Amino acid sequence: MLLKLTNAVKGRIGEGLILNTELIASFFEHTQEDGTKVTVAFGINNNSWEVVETLEEIMTQANG
């Protein structure tokens, strides 16, 4: 399944991001140095992506 999320990485904030759930090992919440709360998707290939959606929003999307 593909998730349509919103990038939260400095320099790419607000850009669309499509992640394949089959390549995601876990999601967790994180607070950036400036105090911004983000959700991090950690991939099975050791990549990670910071997104603006909350864990609840991601799970709602994943469960359709």
Cα separation, 1 vs 55, in Å, equals: 16
Q: What is the pLDDT of residue 27?
A: 96
Report whether pLDDT(22) > 90: yes
Report whether pLDDT(24) > 90: yes
Exposed e or buried b per residue across 11-39, where buried means at least 16 C-beta atoms within 10 angstroms of its C-beta:
eeeeeebebeeeebeebeeeeeeeeeebb
Q: What is the pLDDT of residue 64?
A: 82
Report whether pLDDT(28) > 90: yes
Cα separation, 3 vs 59, in Å, equals: 10
Q: pTM score, two decimals? A: 0.88
